[in-house]
A = this chain, B = another copy of it.
Amino acid sequence: MSNPQLTPVSYVVLGLVAQGATTSYDMKQKASRSVGYFWNFPHSQLYAEPARLVELGLLDEMREAEGRRRRVYTLTRGGREALDEWLREPTTDQTQIRDTGLLKLFFGDGMSPAEIAALAREQEEAHQARLTVYETIEDAVANPSHAAVVRAGLLHERTFAEFWREIAATPP
């Protein structure tokens, strides 16, 4: 019986706070070098979403007394429970892949083989670049859960770089 008002971003915020993030900017920093790689969102959500979660009683908010008077968030008991419950409940939603390159390929009947090859090379390069990033950070990730997810990203990029390489070689 999970709370239907909570979106994936809600759990990203709860999870980041659980992992020690305290302010919105802190979440942004942590996310940009981890979960943000495969689940991206603008920083404004990291300011809006915590406010919602405070409303729902899942986060506590305190203001710093001086300096920037930033909002500092901590998990409430309810927030911890909501996160734990979500982690343990079955996952129904299917993976969504939002890939503009694939979309173009799908509708690319009208393109010439040369144009398709150009698209494919461009896509291969992009995936290869990300693959390199993942390979670079792979060993620096201490947290095993994070490392596993980096590995998933790495495998995905490798698969797709390879896919596009084949398309470039023999356009459909």
Chain A residues with CB under 8 Å of chain B are 8, 11-12, 14-15, 18-19, 34-35, 38-40, 83-84, 86-88, 90-91, 93-111, 115, 119, 122-123, 126-127, 130, 143-149, 151-153, 155-156, 159-160, 162-163, 167, 172
Complex A-B, nearest 6 residue pairs according to Cβ-Cβ distance, in ascending order: A15-B107, A144-B172, A96-B98, A95-B99, A159-B159, A106-B149
Task: Identify A83's interface contact among B18, B107, B152, CB under 8 A.
Answer: B107
The reply to whether A106 and B15 form a contact with Cβ atoms under 8 Å apart is: yes
The smallest beta-carbon distance between A15 and chain B, in angstroms, is: 3
Taken together, the copies of this chain in the complex come to 2
Chain A interface mostly: helix
A150–B119 CA distance with the chains assembled, in angstroms: 17
Task: List B contacts of A119 (CB < 8 A).
Answer: 87, 91
The smallest beta-carbon distance between A21 and chain B, in angstroms, is: 12
A94–B34 CA distance with the chains assembled, in angstroms: 15
The reply to whether B104 and A100 form a contact with Cβ atoms under 8 Å apart is: no
